[in-house]
């Protein structure tokens, strides 16, 4: 029997849309008005906390401002933190002490702030970095499911549910990702997850209108298939979900390496124009690409027939890009998803703005189903690769959802204006 995840929560979608209209973010300003709302309190649950870690560049912005220089930050207050692994480079405990934030040795303790109820308004769960085993598919088995299970068990124990953000993809194994999603629906947990790159600067800036007609799209990523493959897929999905009739999920997934990768470009199955446009933004030596032995293609077909193609080009690509061929246009539109490190990894600041909005409205800023689908494609692709690159039919990925027209960061050339600051949440 074919299974399908259908987002039939019309009231939820209506509420989210209303929130996006009624609670503006004032063009992504980096400050907030002293006359604005009171800060929402947050419990952080993290694997480890060192300089430059995801805990540092998310939680650190709550404590020390958007640029982590003591300036203004989100309308949030860190109430508590749980740190699972204390490594040699740990700055989490010292940072918490500096700001008077209690550190707990259990997730329940962090959510209750050591009391007999849940006083916090939301939870940020960061299962990234630290020493954890890998699966047979090469996935680092971060404890995202275990963290979410403990968080939701605590909700049940104390009779209160608050919004939860899960950093990066769910799982990362499909079985765990689906479990997390199902539990969030069952327990009515406002839930959000995803890559920081879907919110980052796009260079050049690219905004696709909702319900536009797209003929082809090609994504390019780099580095580790699991860690950066998700960023590439989530960045790709945040654009192609805006096509007419989307989103209805993915029908099949295949992962290819070797000559078969390039054959699909040469025979026209994959748009060479779109590939070249995306490659030009992240590779300065395109003539070397085909000679690389570790080039990988995530190939997948959506339920509406649209063909998805994301090339992972470690050693040649230096970033993540996507090119879109729209119907009726002569040339593809291409953009690079920026990953600047200064000031203080700004792409995480824009991700945090989405989290901030969720905690103030009680609704996800964009659908968690996008993250579920992107992570599911990745898991199935890695499974295909481990099974001699076979095509996998994926009824489990027929995930329907309604995209939300939520803005990304402004053009990087406007950075000085952005950091000047405007009201963050009203």
Distance CA 275, CA 197 (A): 20
Residue 29, pLDDT above cutoff 80: no
Q: How confident is the model over 287-310, as pLDDT tens digits?
A: 999 999 899 999 999 999 999 999
- Give dist(CA 245, CA 259) in Å, integer: 33
- CATH level 2 (architecture), domain 31-194: 3-Layer(aba) Sandwich (3.40)
Instruction: Report the residue count for the chain.
Output: 426
Burial class (CB in 10 A: 0-12, 13-18, 19+), 15: middle
**What angle is formed at CA 246 by the lines to CA 407 and CA 188, rounded to 5 degrees?**
70
Span(s) in the chain for CATH 3.40.50.720: 31-194
Comma-separated ranges of CATH 3.30.360 domains in the chain: 202-337
Please report the pLDDT score of residue 12 as a whole number: 34
Contact (CB, 8 A) for 73 and 344: no
For residues 98 and 90, give the distance between their C-alpha atoms in angstroms, rounded to a whole number: 14
What average pLDDT does the structure give for the chain? 89
Angle between helices 227-240 and 368-386 (to 10 degrees): 130
Tokens of 160: 């209160």
- State the pLDDT at residue 406: 87
Higher model confidence: residue 414 or residue 84? 84
The secondary element (H helix, E strand) that includes residue 217 is strand 214-221
Q: How confident is the model at residue 37 (pLDDT cuts 50, 70, 90)?
A: confident
Q: Residue 180's CB: how many other CB atoms inside 10 A?
A: 26
pLDDT of 104 over the 70 cut: yes
**What does the DSSP 8-state code read for residue 199?**
G
The residue among 103, 112, 191, 85 whose CA lies nearest residue 148 is 191
Task: Check: pTM over 0.75? Answer yes or no.
Answer: yes
- Encode pLDDT of 254-268 as tens digits: 999 999 999 999 999
Q: Does domain 202-337 have CATH number 3.30.200?
A: no
Strand order in the sheet with 333-337: 202-203, 333-337, 320-326, 214-221, 307-312, 296-302, 250-257, 392-393
């Amino acid at each position: 029997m074919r299974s399908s995840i259908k987002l039939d929560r019309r009231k939820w979608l209506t509420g989210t849309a209303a929130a996006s209209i009624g609670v503006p973010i004032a063009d992504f300003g980096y400050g907030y008005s002293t006359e604005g709302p009171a800060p929402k309190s947050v419990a952080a649950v993290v694997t480890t906390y060192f300089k430059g870690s995801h805990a540092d560049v998310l939680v650190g912005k709550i404590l020390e401002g958007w640029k982590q220089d003591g300036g203004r930050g989100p309308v949030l207050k860190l109430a508590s933190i749980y740190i699972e692994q204390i490594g040699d480079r740990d700055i989490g405990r010292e940072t918490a002490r500096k700001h008077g934030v209690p550190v707990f040795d259990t997730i329940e303790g962090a959510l209750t702030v050591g009391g007999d109820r849940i006083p916090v308004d939301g939870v940020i769960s960061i299962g990234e970095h630290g020493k954890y085993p890998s699966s047979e598919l090469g996935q680092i088995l971060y404890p995202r499911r275990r963290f979410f299970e403990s968080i939701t068990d605590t909700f049940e124990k104390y009779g209160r549910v608050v919004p939860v953000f899960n950093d990066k993809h769910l799982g990362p194994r499909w079985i765990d990702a689906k479990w997390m999603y199902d539990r969030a629906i069952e327990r009515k947990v406002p839930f959000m997850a995803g890559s920081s790159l879907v919110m980052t600067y796009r260079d050049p800036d690219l905004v696709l209108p909702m319900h536009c007609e797209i003929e082809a799209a090609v994504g390019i990523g780099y580095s580790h298939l699991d860690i950066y493959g998700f960023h590439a897929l989530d960045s790709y999905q945040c654009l192609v979900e805006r096509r007419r009739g989307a989103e209805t999920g993915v029908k099949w997934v295949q992962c290819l390496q070797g000559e078969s990768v390039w054959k699909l470009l040469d025979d026209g199955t994959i748009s060479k124009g779109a590939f070249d446009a995306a490659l030009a933004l992240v590779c300065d030596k395109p003539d070397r690409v085909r000679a690389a032995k570790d080039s990988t293609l995530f190939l997948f077909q959506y339920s509406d027939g649209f063909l998805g193609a994301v090339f992972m080009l470690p050693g040649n690509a230096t970033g993540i890009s996507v090119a879109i061929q729209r119907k009726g246009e002569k040339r593809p539109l291409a953009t690079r998803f920026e990953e600047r490190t200064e000031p203080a990894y700004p792409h995480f600041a824009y991700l945090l703005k989405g989290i901030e909005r969720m905690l103030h409205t009680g609704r996800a800023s964009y659908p968690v189903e996008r993250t579920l689908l992107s992570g599911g494609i990745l898991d199935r692709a890695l499974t295909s690769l481990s099974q001699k690159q076979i095509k996998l039919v994926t009824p489990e990925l027929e995930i329907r959802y309604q995209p939300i027209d939520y803005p990304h960061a402004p053009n990087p050339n406007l950075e000085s204006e952005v950091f000047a600051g405007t009201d963050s949440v009203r």
